[in-house]
Chain A
Amino acid sequence: MTDAQLLGRVLRSATGVFTFGCTQNEENIPQFGQPVRAAGADGDVYGLVYEIIIQDDPFVRQIVAASDSLTPERIEDMRQRRQVPVEVSALAVAYRRGELVRQGVPPRPPAALRRVFACNRGEVDEVLGRGGFQFMRIALNHAQCPAEDLLVASLGWVAQCRPPGQEQPYLVEAGRELTRLLAHDPLRLDAILRGLADLTAEAQAASRGW
């Protein structure tokens, strides 16, 4: 993850969700669960990527159907130049107003064509790692996003951005918070905790240098 990597620009937004378009350059397409930042006039809005749609149109289908016509130049043209963007939707989970960073639904969604960046490690740790677990409640309460998978993926991102040695304790703490939030829904809780267990094992393996 590099600093201020521009991913795309906002196509449409609401208070809880913003959707941005980016080119089909594979390096530029964010990953599921990745924290992103939409730059706003009066402060940034932070979101978690929960849906990535790679669009097509009849022209793309024509080119794909004639496989012998897929020259590298045409493939790059389709990916980088044609106006068929990748649509990425992010769940708004935090915002910044001046020095204040707060987890919660932003007071105002990012305007159309605002730039959207990949969050750098410092931002992820500041906004989500040290900022509490309110973002998990927002994800769990959102009807459209696949909350269980999203939380597992996003917690993995946040854990990676914690200071060395803090990854596993962070995931354990997140698990405790989820147990409280989902006390009434053991099936969802079980799905997320199984995912987190895998992440914890991976974090342990990484700390041992495996």
Chain B
Amino acid sequence: MLELRKLLAHVEAMSREMAARQRDFASRITEAREKLAALAQVDEVMQAKIEQALSVDPTWRGAQPVSARLDERHQPDGDATPATLIAVDGSQIYPDRHGLALYYLINIGSIILRQGTGEAPQTDTQPTLYFLEEDIYNDGGDLVTAGDVNARREQAELKMLAELAREERGYWGGDLDRLIVAMTDGPLLIWMGETDMKDPAAKAHIQTYIAQLQAIQQSAAIPIGYVDRPRSANVLRLLHVIQLDPTEISKERVRQTCYQGMTDRLLFQDLKPNQRSAIFAATTRINREFFRAAGQEIHFFYLNVAQKKGEEHARIVRVDAPAWVTGQPSLLDRVQQAIYEDCRGTEHPYVLARAHELAVVTYAERRDFEQTLAAALIRQDLTPEPSRKAWLKWLMSG
């Protein structure tokens, strides 16, 4: 039980702290924007500082400018042309050693919305149950972790996205004029720790993931990672580094950013509706060593998907796309228009909201599934029961 009265003082302190932090950020972000404007021109000196930062700290999660200026702002001209939007999202039931049986489940929801056709979108769900020994134990003989399940879900999502992109191109008879945007909810770049990347299984995971991006490219569809309320600060880290004198660039100074606690979202809060920031490349090692080598280096930009003008209404999101997309300005404009159109009325891509709705396994559905599983186990003369701990928890939760 949570005794709220014992927390009231903490809640008050927290709210005061947050208000103070916001005031502090508001004053510092103005200064950061001024710096961004003052140091906007991308030149050799800036590039050298970025290379130096990466050499002293190869794990530096900064940003490599792709645009000519850091303060570039761009809004596509003209009306959006109808596009096909494909979105995929996944959810899972993690393995539970206290549950009825050892298994895990991944459910992938997908939607294909063809703008301008007036047709109901095509929707589907693909649940998969993993219960074989090789599924539920890793190579070390340990029960698979939540991270393992997440990695498998990521693969399943992108595989589904690639399949749907291929089918959709076929639906349009191979017509390459039809824009097909294939969207995932979250970054397009896999997150992986430095030590994990040395693991052969992790390398295989990366290669499989990249192969799916290549498959989407072969279908002439556009893979997009859409990050709502991004917490990333890659551009602020870049801004910090380029203010340092080359002699000051050390691992410690690179990491001790003067914009601690702030996010790029604040920096770009002044974007106008349907306006995007400059384009950047993530400097993570996985992007440089794996994705770039495969021709799939991930770039990103910030976009305001709000309809109303004004910073107070701005809804800044991060959009990830491969370099072969951002390198085609007119194509990128069409993609941006398609995303913005799909956010109309919801300020979030409609197709992503629907893919999530299709994918999510509710508590009631999980309960129904486990009842079905228990009945099947009983028919096999097994005695399914949760651990005593899980059973008591269930009793006490009412």
* Contact between A73 and B113, CB atoms less than 8 A apart: yes
* Contact between A73 and B114, CB atoms less than 8 A apart: yes
User: Total contacts A to B, CB within 8 angstroms?
Assistant: 46
Given A68-B345, A69-B344, A73-B115, the answer on whether A59 and B121 have CB atoms closer than 8 Å is no
* Contact between A66 and B346, CB atoms less than 8 A apart: yes
**21 interchain pairs (CB within 8 A)?**
A59-B357, A65-B345, A66-B346, A68-B344, A69-B346, A71-B115, A72-B117, A73-B115, A73-B120, A73-B121, A76-B120, A77-B111, A77-B113, A77-B121, A77-B123, A77-B354, A79-B120, A80-B120, A81-B121, A82-B354, A82-B357
- Asked whether B329 is an interface residue with its Cβ less than 8 Å from the other chain, the reply is no
Q: Across the two chains, which residue of chain A brings its CB closest to B120? A: A76
Interface string of A56-70 (1 = CB under 8 A from B): 000100110110111
Given A72-B118, A73-B115, the answer on whether A81 and B346 have CB atoms closer than 8 Å is no
* Contact between A69 and B345, CB atoms less than 8 A apart: yes
List CB contacts (< 8 Å) of A78-109 with chain B.
Answer: 79-82
- Asked whether A74 is an interface residue with its Cβ less than 8 Å from the other chain, the reply is yes
Interchain CB contact (< 8 A) of A73 among B119, B345, B346, B353: B119
- Asked whether B300 is an interface residue with its Cβ less than 8 Å from the other chain, the reply is no
Give 5 A-B pairs besides A59-B353, A77-B121 with Cβ atoms closer than 8 angstroms: A66-B346, A73-B114, A73-B117, A73-B120, A76-B118
What B residues does A77 contact at CB under 8 A? 111, 113, 120-121, 123, 354
- Asked whether B209 is an interface residue with its Cβ less than 8 Å from the other chain, the reply is no
Minimum distance in angstroms from B367 CB to a CB of chain A: 17
A73 to B121 CA separation, bound complex (whole angstroms): 6
Interchain CB contact (< 8 A) of A62 among B114, B118, B345: B345
What A residues does B344 contact at CB under 8 A? 66, 68-69
A69 to B347 CA separation, bound complex (whole angstroms): 10
What A residues does B345 contact at CB under 8 A? 62-63, 65-66, 68-70
A66 to B342 CA separation, bound complex (whole angstroms): 13
- Asked whether B291 is an interface residue with its Cβ less than 8 Å from the other chain, the reply is no
Given A73-B113, A77-B113, the answer on whether A62 and B119 have CB atoms closer than 8 Å is no
What B residues does A79 contact at CB under 8 A? 120
What A residues does B60 contact at CB under 8 A? none
Given A63-B346, A68-B345, A69-B346, the answer on whether A81 and B114 have CB atoms closer than 8 Å is no
Interface string of B118-129 (1 = CB under 8 A from A): 111101000000
- Asked whether B350 is an interface residue with its Cβ less than 8 Å from the other chain, the reply is yes
List CB contacts (< 8 Å) of B223-280 with chain A.
Answer: none
Q: Across the two chains, which residue of chain B brings its CB closest to A70? A: B345
A74 to B120 CA separation, bound complex (whole angstroms): 7
List CB contacts (< 8 Å) of B108-142 with chain A.
Answer: 111, 113-115, 117-121, 123
What A residues does B353 contact at CB under 8 A? 59
Interface string of A8-32 (1 = CB under 8 A from B): 0000000000000000000000000
Minimum distance in angstroms from A24 CB to a CB of chain B: 10
Interface string of B374-389 (1 = CB under 8 A from A): 0000000000000000
What A residues does B115 contact at CB under 8 A? 71, 73
List CB contacts (< 8 Å) of B171-209 with chain A.
Answer: none
* Contact between B118 and A73, CB atoms less than 8 A apart: yes
What B residues does A80 contact at CB under 8 A? 120
* Contact between B123 and A62, CB atoms less than 8 A apart: no
Q: Across the two chains, which residue of chain B brings its CB closest to A65? A: B345
What A residues does B117 contact at CB under 8 A? 72-73
Minimum distance in angstroms from B228 CB to a CB of chain A: 15
Q: Across the two chains, which residue of chain A brings its CB closest to B85? A: A73
List CB contacts (< 8 Å) of A135-155 with chain B.
Answer: none
What B residues does A69 contact at CB under 8 A? 344-346, 350
What B residues does A74 contact at CB under 8 A? 350
Minimum distance in angstroms from A75 CB to a CB of chain B: 9
- From B113, B114, B117, B120, name the one whose CB has the most chain A CB atoms within 10 angstroms: B120
* Contact between B123 and A81, CB atoms less than 8 A apart: yes
What A residues does B123 contact at CB under 8 A? 77, 81
A73 to B353 CA separation, bound complex (whole angstroms): 15
Minimum distance in angstroms from B334 CB to a CB of chain A: 17
Q: Across the two chains, which residue of chain A brings its CB closest to B123? A: A81
Minimum distance in angstroms from A63 CB to a CB of chain B: 6
* Contact between B357 and A81, CB atoms less than 8 A apart: no
Q: Across the two chains, which residue of chain B brings its CB closest to A63? A: B345
A65 to B344 CA separation, bound complex (whole angstroms): 12
A114 to B350 CA separation, bound complex (whole angstroms): 33
Minimum distance in angstroms from B341 CB to a CB of chain A: 9
A149 to B26 CA separation, bound complex (whole angstroms): 64
* Contact between B346 and A76, CB atoms less than 8 A apart: no
What B residues does A65 contact at CB under 8 A? 345
A63 to B346 CA separation, bound complex (whole angstroms): 7
A66 to B114 CA separation, bound complex (whole angstroms): 20
What B residues does A81 contact at CB under 8 A? 120-121, 123
Interchain CB contact (< 8 A) of B119 among A63, A68, A76, A82: A76
- From B111, B344, B345, B354, name the one whose CB has the most chain A CB atoms within 10 angstroms: B345
The 8 closest A-B pairs by CB, nearest first: A69-B345, A66-B345, A76-B120, A72-B118, A80-B120, A69-B344, A77-B121, A81-B123
What A residues does B111 contact at CB under 8 A? 77
Q: Across the two chains, which residue of chain A brings its CB closest to B121? A: A77
* Contact between A62 and B120, CB atoms less than 8 A apart: no
Minimum distance in angstroms from A162 CB to a CB of chain B: 38
A124 to B280 CA separation, bound complex (whole angstroms): 69
Minimum distance in angstroms from B333 CB to a CB of chain A: 20
